[in-house]
Structure 1
Amino acid sequence: MATFKRIVLASRPKGQVTPDNFRLEEVPVPSLKDGEVLIRNHFLSLDPYMRMRMEDVKSYAAPQALNETMIGGTAGEIVESKNPKFAVGDKVVGMMGWSEMGVSDGTLLRKVDTAHIPLSAYLGSVGMPGMTAWYGLTQIMQPKEGETIVVSAASGAVGSVVGQLAKQRGCRAVGIAGGKEKCAYVVDELGFDACIDYKAGNLEADLAKATPNGIDAIFENVGGEIFDACLARMNAFGRIALCGLIAGYDGEPMAIRNTRAFLTMRLTMRGFIVSEHPELWPQGLKELGTLVATGKLKFRESVAPSLEAAPEAFIGLLKGKNFGKQLVKLV
């Protein structure tokens, strides 16, 4: 009997995620019903939101069930089809999870063209992370030419896209990242105007130097002291797209200390979940796909070599060890 490997959530983390929270299983390849397709996944996307889904708490989506395949975006190829809309050989993007194979009835499954865009990019710049960046920037930050925008986790899959899109709209783009190598990449390769190394210990002074005219909009991925330092530099009527709070995902309490800025600077902050806005995906993906295909939107990937390596790669992602988009190669 043919089998494939998958990783399930074995236990909920208490504090930091550990490899023991996951379990590798080998399961039989299922037979298809009418309307279904069998997909051989080539890449798995690892993303910070998965950490929140591991908790059994009230959130925007149901918690990840124990002893079930871990949730996750995938890109792969159809190897068997009983659905007239999909043919064997079609490249598709879906949510098959931490698994070498998956069955879908076609819901939330998207055919993609790999002639000018690599398959892996559909999990990054031309996928959910890219759309997250596009939505937060265009719909919430609404930057005007000449304004200064700040992006935390600027070398990551989302932040790197935010800054590049802002530059194309005539803004001053300032990134925040951890380490000299990441900051050099953000400026030299991605074209940001400046990048602050928060690990250097001069966050407030470096931020002031990089934003001489203050900050008009923030794309927030981290929270904590980085967010507070940015709030202190905000201009009147500034906008904040709250995308993530990765500094607090392991259960550490996080307070916003500079709350006074919301009143004195009349700030607007909005949290968002990009999957709740499907009506805008065609518009955003068209822009992102064109930019990637023409080389005007650059991206970098960290690729773990196998499904077995996914837990350690995910733990590394939560600690900022990845450089760019974190993927797992499954073929």
Structure 2
Amino acid sequence: MPQRFDFSIISEKALASTAEMQSFLTKYDTDAPTRQRVEGLAQKFASRFDAINVNQPKIDGKSTNPFVLSAFARTQSISMVSELDQLIAAAKMFSSLETALGRVVEDVVPSSYGWSQVHSESHSLLSEIDSAKVQRSSSTVFLAALKSGPSCINDSMVSQIANAIATHWEQWADNWKVNNVHYIVGMNYSTGKNSNKKDWHIVRLAAEKLSEKGLAFSEPCIRQINVKGKLKLQAQNRFKASTDQKNITVEVLQGRNFWAAIGDGNSDTFFEVCAALALALSALNPSPLPDAPITVGLDKVISHANSLRSEKFETGAIQWFTLFVRHFVDAIH
């Protein structure tokens, strides 16, 4: 019988407040280095977005499902085929873009915060590493594997990445000439609450494999806790282990917390990413969203956005910024 874990720490709510958002927008308005960094990110995003070749949707007997089309038309009171055209196009293009955007994020964001991209062939020494940053003062290399969303990791990926960590981590230390390896499984957006928890199982399986190799653990990724007289196995975000000469930390971070780690602990980093995504749309002269949107939760986004002020951001851009922020947290308050 598979073990059951308590994910209360992993799933702790990630929040953003409108006060934080306003503070960031004020900083963007008044702090030149912040503005230059965000504008640089926005230019890189816009350039890469423009270069994406999105496949046009087709009615070819396999790309769309007739039962889904009929059900959708019925539930949405769509009477004409022509009304479906834009909706079909959007749905299919979203799917195509999700595949392409993972690489764009890898290429654009970490390098803007001093990380180096790691290029390698599949199933090689460095193939489970996307970005690296060396801190010589602590003899540590920080390594990041960027994952595109909360449900993108499957069981085979868990095994593959955990095997790579357990097999290669000492070689990684030698490769960067350090004594300490800090490996991060990072989710580009969303939260630990929304994760399918496969990202954490990478940490768990890597710990099991390293334990079998005889490493000593100073911080485990599973702790026994007593809840109302019952023992539970509580999942932790990371573990720390060591040999006589080298140390390894493996942790999982999602959304806001992940980008804070990429930005050297700066909790505003994800705000900068969201602002850059909004600025990447500036050429379109974004208009404010309608007051009564169809999508559940979008009304709250509009309400929060309308409470924010900026000298540099127009109302439409602030709404896009707020919409993007909501994707990195469980709630805005």
Specify if TM > 0.5.
no
Q: Which has the larger helix fraction?
A: 2
TM (norm. structure 1) is: 0.28
Q: Which has the larger strand fraction?
A: 1
TM (norm. structure 2) is: 0.28
In our comparison, the structure showing a higher alpha carbon Rg is: 2
